[in-house]
Chains A and B, each alone.
Chain A
């Protein structure tokens, strides 16, 4: 095989990875069970709640939310979009997907923002976090999807976990960036008047970094949606599963319809989450 006089000896990274996964599975299995039950409960609860009322009620609700948030044009657009999903008979699947995206998004935000804050305040944390984030974003999703299936049962949970892993990095990055971009003179002003670091964070840095942090939240939501189909492959119900099923059985029409549903959800959530900073400025 390799003929060189000297060669780098085979490094068994794969074996190590396998060993770590085995160890985790054998030793903190109960922990994963709890996480599994928790996420599953929340996702299914939310999903059920979204499917409980008749579709028209929800369509009106979504439209009203859009209207209140961005104005009547967006309200009307949302109504048309969700009516389209209902017309394609995919409203329940869309709600299942929405529930997963929202849960994954909330978990990612809750994890990402504090890490971003820490990274902004401490250069060492920042140096450690950055390559980890690169790793999370570039490692092909399937590579960690498989162990995630080992840890959790088939269903929505592995999808949510994989989505969190994939969607988290921009939230951390933009939070860190937002805080670091706050004019140092502002922070100095806080310090010069004797404000303690915690108050400087909550009263000066976070409010001033808010637009950037919200851009990060928006990115988290968008990346969560991009993971919908991959989640479908590991058993998460919803539009993603339908796309996956349609593609594997070459039902092009059905695949397109489900895909259209994802697009409508994506546009709706994007506009909804990126509207926030504009409102703040007014």
Chain B
């Protein structure tokens, strides 16, 4: 996704621009706490569910987690409490050692590194944002923000300057000399975010970063994260138990249950084709209109008229297809407009050579990734909505009925022709 050019001028280690490699990759990652961990892993490998392990003293948290986080995407791990998502996150930066499996950052196997090498990797490549902020209460906001740079050994003047910059980025200009205790919850998490941004790592691990905030502030922070991300293009792994949050933020979402990743895909994919009953029930309450896209509710465009065809031929085609209007396309396939039966008849009466003169533009044109919530207004116009790509080729047609079908999540909708 996204061009891999880093827009941030102070963006730390050089990145392999355009590298096809994922930034973080896990291979069959397992985490079992307690005794007899290897035995537990063997059983989990055979597909034993986590809660049927039957090994006293062994608690399985994560089983068989394999995924790739691509450069510059927001990768959300979504699961309820106890699903193993926080454990999974902590294995990505080695805060928790994996019981089995590998974690690769670029192509470096983190599980094979020495302790000090892992520390190096953390301080240069990955920062973390915590659920309860984890700001140091005895240090000023500025010192907190500069913490990562301090660990990296950046000289005082430079780290002060870069911390100031990060604070400005999160809208906390001039708060540097306060103590965290003097800030509201939302502001504290901004400091937590600033601390991670100031460290200038290309990977951001966010552990339920907004869960402790009230809904309004949470919403605000989500918007801000998306704006920041559009500018900075970090690689973000975001943990949450809030499905709406996952759907808003995630380029891709890994759904976790009982320590396993049960589905991995875009928000749209998870909503429209849930992997199993659980997920289907789980996603029921989501505001689908904010997730489902025009592309997934549209019907195939069907037959179109060539803009060069004559009005009588067009009338004939419409009669044969039993429709009253059709989209007209030019010889390159680009959308020209819509032709109604009445306009075609009028054009024929005028003696026009082609239907081009009968074409009107009284309909909405949207891209395939437009959220359905944005289609409500045009859908009331009683005209089909054209879904086009960036060369204006017609991809499909959305009608009011298709929107309702998509929101009701009848699985047939997306395949209905």
Stretch at the interface among B5-13, B38-46, B124-132, B313-321: B124-132
Instruction: Judge whether A37 is part of the interface by a CB distance below 8 angstroms.
Output: no
Q: List which A174-211 residues lie within 8 A (CB) of chain B.
A: 183, 185-186, 188-189, 191-196, 199, 204, 207-208
Instruction: Judge whether B235 is part of the interface by a CB distance below 8 angstroms.
Output: no
Contact residue among A186, A188, A193, A207 (Cβ-Cβ distance under 8 Å from B151)? A193
Provided the pairs A193-B148, A194-B152, A195-B151 are in contact, do residues A188 and B130 lie with their beta carbons within 8 angstroms?
yes
Q: A207 to B126, alpha carbons, bound, how many Å?
A: 26
Q: Which residues of B contact A204 (CB under 8 A)?
A: 136
When the two chains form their complex, are residues B134 and A186 in contact, meaning their CB atoms are under 8 A apart? yes
Q: Which residues of A contact B151 (CB under 8 A)?
A: 193-195, 199
When the two chains form their complex, are residues A186 and B199 in contact, meaning their CB atoms are under 8 A apart? no
Per-residue contact bits, chain A 154-185, to B (CB 8 Å; 1 contact, 0 not): 00000000000000000000000000000101
Stretch at the interface among B61-69, B114-122, B325-333: B114-122
Provided the pairs A193-B127, A193-B199, A199-B151 are in contact, do residues A183 and B134 lie with their beta carbons within 8 angstroms?
yes
Instruction: Judge whether B95 is part of the interface by a CB distance below 8 angstroms.
Output: yes
Contact residue among B95, B119, B195 (Cβ-Cβ distance under 8 Å from A188)? B95
Q: A246 to B291, alpha carbons, bound, how many Å?
A: 88
Q: List which B126-154 residues lie within 8 A (CB) of chain A.
A: 126-128, 130-132, 134-138, 147-148, 151-152
Q: Which residues of A contact B135 (CB under 8 A)?
A: 189
Q: A204 to B139, alpha carbons, bound, how many Å?
A: 10
Q: Which residues of B contact A191 (CB under 8 A)?
A: 95, 119, 122
Q: A188 to B132, alpha carbons, bound, how many Å?
A: 12
Q: A277 to B195, alpha carbons, bound, how many Å?
A: 28
Q: A199 to B205, alpha carbons, bound, how many Å?
A: 22
When the two chains form their complex, are residues A195 and B134 in contact, meaning their CB atoms are under 8 A apart? no
When the two chains form their complex, are residues B128 and A193 in contact, meaning their CB atoms are under 8 A apart? yes
Q: A194 to B131, alpha carbons, bound, how many Å?
A: 19
Can you name the residue of chain B whose Cβ is closest to the Cβ of A208? B138
Q: A104 to B131, alpha carbons, bound, how many Å?
A: 45
Instruction: Judge whether B289 is part of the interface by a CB distance below 8 angstroms.
Output: no
Instruction: Judge whether B123 is part of the interface by a CB distance below 8 angstroms.
Output: yes
Q: A30 to B138, alpha carbons, bound, how many Å?
A: 47
Nearest CB in chain B: distance from A39 CB, A:
36
When the two chains form their complex, are residues B130 and A185 in contact, meaning their CB atoms are under 8 A apart? yes
Instruction: Judge whether B93 is part of the interface by a CB distance below 8 angstroms.
Output: yes
Contact residue among B128, B131, B136, B152 (Cβ-Cβ distance under 8 Å from A192)? B128
Q: A204 to B134, alpha carbons, bound, how many Å?
A: 11
Nearest CB in chain B: distance from A213 CB, A:
14
Contact residue among B93, B116, B136 (Cβ-Cβ distance under 8 Å from A196)? B116
Nearest CB in chain A: distance from B191 CB, A:
12
Provided the pairs A194-B151, A195-B151, A199-B151 are in contact, do residues A189 and B119 lie with their beta carbons within 8 angstroms?
no
Q: Which residues of B contact A196 (CB under 8 A)?
A: 116, 119
Q: A191 to B151, alpha carbons, bound, how many Å?
A: 10
Q: A230 to B182, alpha carbons, bound, how many Å?
A: 49
When the two chains form their complex, are residues A193 and B123 in contact, meaning their CB atoms are under 8 A apart? yes
Nearest CB in chain B: distance from A48 CB, A:
40
Nearest CB in chain A: distance from B100 CB, A:
22
When the two chains form their complex, are residues B122 and A193 in contact, meaning their CB atoms are under 8 A apart? yes
When the two chains form their complex, are residues A188 and B138 in contact, meaning their CB atoms are under 8 A apart? no
Q: Which residues of A contact B138 (CB under 8 A)?
A: 207-208
Provided the pairs A199-B151, A207-B138 are in contact, do residues A192 and B132 lie with their beta carbons within 8 angstroms?
no
Q: Which residues of B contact A193 (CB under 8 A)?
A: 122-123, 127-128, 147-148, 151, 195, 199
Nearest CB in chain B: distance from A185 CB, A:
4
Q: A240 to B271, alpha carbons, bound, how many Å?
A: 80
Nearest CB in chain A: distance from B190 CB, A:
15
Contact residue among A194, A195, A199, A208 (Cβ-Cβ distance under 8 Å from B137)? A208
When the two chains form their complex, are residues A195 and B130 in contact, meaning their CB atoms are under 8 A apart? no
When the two chains form their complex, are residues A194 and B95 in contact, meaning their CB atoms are under 8 A apart? no
Nearest CB in chain A: distance from B130 CB, A:
5
Q: Which residues of A contact B130 (CB under 8 A)?
A: 185, 188-189
Can you name the residue of chain A whose Cβ is closest to the Cβ of B132? A185
Q: A189 to B132, alpha carbons, bound, how many Å?
A: 11
Q: A195 to B93, alpha carbons, bound, how many Å?
A: 13
Nearest CB in chain A: distance from B186 CB, A:
18
Q: Which residues of A contact B122 (CB under 8 A)?
A: 191-194
When the two chains form their complex, are residues B95 and A192 in contact, meaning their CB atoms are under 8 A apart? yes
Per-residue contact bits, chain B 79-99, to A (CB 8 Å; 1 contact, 0 not): 000000000000001010000
Q: A192 to B122, alpha carbons, bound, how many Å?
A: 6
Q: Which residues of B contact A192 (CB under 8 A)?
A: 93, 95, 122, 126-128, 205
Q: Give the 8 A-B residue pairs with the shortest CB-CB distance, closest first.
A: A194-B123, A192-B128, A189-B134, A194-B122, A185-B134, A194-B119, A193-B148, A195-B151
Known contacts A193-B195, A194-B121; 10 further A-B pairs (Cβ under 8 A) = A185-B130, A189-B135, A193-B148, A194-B122, A194-B152, A195-B119, A195-B123, A196-B116, A199-B151, A207-B138
Residues of B near any A CB (own CB < 8 A): 93, 95, 116, 119-124, 126-128, 130-132, 134-138, 147-148, 151-152, 195, 199, 205
13 CB contacts below 8 A, A to B, read A183-B134, A185-B130, A185-B131, A185-B134, A186-B136, A188-B128, A189-B128, A191-B122, A193-B128, A193-B148, A194-B119, A196-B116, A208-B136
